[in-house]
Amino acid sequence: MLTPRLLAVGVWAATLTACASSFRASTGPDVARNQLARELRDSVARVLKAARKDRAFPGAYAVVGDSRGVLAQGSIGRLDWTKSPKPNAHTLWDLASLTKVIGTTTALAQLVERGLVDVEAPVQRYVPDWTGPQQDSVTVRHLLTHRSGLPSFRPYDTLTHNADSLAELLFRTPLSVAPGERMVYSDIGAFMMGRIVEQVSGMRLDQFVAANVFAPLAMYETMFRPAAFTHDRVAPTELDTLRGGLVRGVVHDERAYYLGGVAAHAGLFSTAFDLGRYATMMLRGGTLDSARVLQPETIARFTAYADSATYNRGLGWQKPDRAEMLYKTPSSSWAGQFMTATAFGHTGFTGTSIAIDPTLDLYIILLSNRVNPTRANNKIGGVRNRLADAVVTALRRQRGLTMNASAP
């Protein structure tokens, strides 16, 4: 027969055992996540160190995370090849074409959600004065998938530096091929996407995304036309004699620059901290903290293959290549070899990229100024590829997953 004291000890011991089991159960995933984080930090550091040694860029910052937040991050080099600050999570980078997805595509997705834009509708429903041969057949989907028939770009900045004249030239650009005939990655198509946002919302593009995307997500370091007081933490881009030397604090893309710094295809500046918040929101089905930016079904719709047999595009977003595809874009290195079919991402000409894989619960952001001092430096594609492969390899190994990209 147990005495009261022995009974109390027994209850206490049983309670301790239960608590220990509960503790192991609750901390097990955290222990595994911490182990993965350490391995990812090492992998990121190795890739960045090798890239800087190869002079792929003067400086870079990478952040890797999941739906819970940041897993690992790291920096290398300095903001310029001369003595300058080291990159950190709050360094401002010229995002270049990441503007198309973080800003313009997200804005369009919100308008689609609200029933104000129909992806299958002709562009002329929303911009009636956009007229020309076959332009009545161009749909919003065509713009989002770069199959509108519009050319990639035109060097209109060599003809005029007047913002209104430049905008009119872009707006009046005729189609170069029939709508839907083939995929041509087009800055002019993105320009038209921006026009739709402005016509439908009644707001300037920069005002719309600030109010509807960046403010709800507390992305206070994401903006067009950074204020002068922030320029000391902006990573400079290319030497441009027409603009007085090293470009810093203003958009690198010439067309966006002469449009006044706000454009649907380029012009956003942001930080690793802010972009991590955006990526986390996308992995959480459109919410972050108490803010809902998109519905889960909208994210799924915009980030799925639009036609996986033909081209590597979603709606606005880029998708991993597949062997059978007829059309591919050379900047798909953001995904590496091992991301799943649910992955989506994009790259920026200045040396930026974002990759998000919902199946792996993973995002990878790489921010660099590879165009400093010249755009002739084309090593960034290899860096993106190696970073994605190193991260996904470590993650799949830690989770005991196959390296087959078609498998989860």
The amino acid that residue 142 corresponds to is H
- DSSP structure string for 34-65: HHHHHHHHHHHHHHHHHHHHTTS-SEEEEEEE
Residue pLDDT, tens place only, 207-263: 999 999 999 999 999 999 999 999 999 999 999 999 999 999 999 999 999 999 999
Q: Look at residue 76 in the predicted model and tell me its pLDDT.
A: 98
Q: Measured between alpha carbons, how far is 339 from 320 in angstroms, rounded to an integer?
A: 8
Closest by Cα among 233, 241, 293, 299 to 269? 233
Q: Measured between alpha carbons, how far is 111 from 301 in angstroms, rounded to an integer?
A: 14
Q: Look at residue 401 in the predicted model and tell me its pLDDT.
A: 80
| Cβ atoms of residues 170 and 191 within 8 Å | yes
pTM of the model as a whole: 0.91
Token look-up 């055992």 returns: 17
Cis peptide before 373 (omega within 30 of 0): yes
Q: Look at residue 332 in the predicted model and tell me its pLDDT.
A: 72
368: pLDDT strictly greater than 90: yes
Residue pLDDT, tens place only, 56-76: 999 999 999 999 999 999 999
| Cβ atoms of residues 298 and 203 within 8 Å | no
- How crowded is the C-beta side of 226, counted as CA atoms within 13 Å? 28
CA distances from 106 to 38, 122, 134 (A): 33, 19, 27
Sign of CA dihedral 78, 345, 295, 404: negative
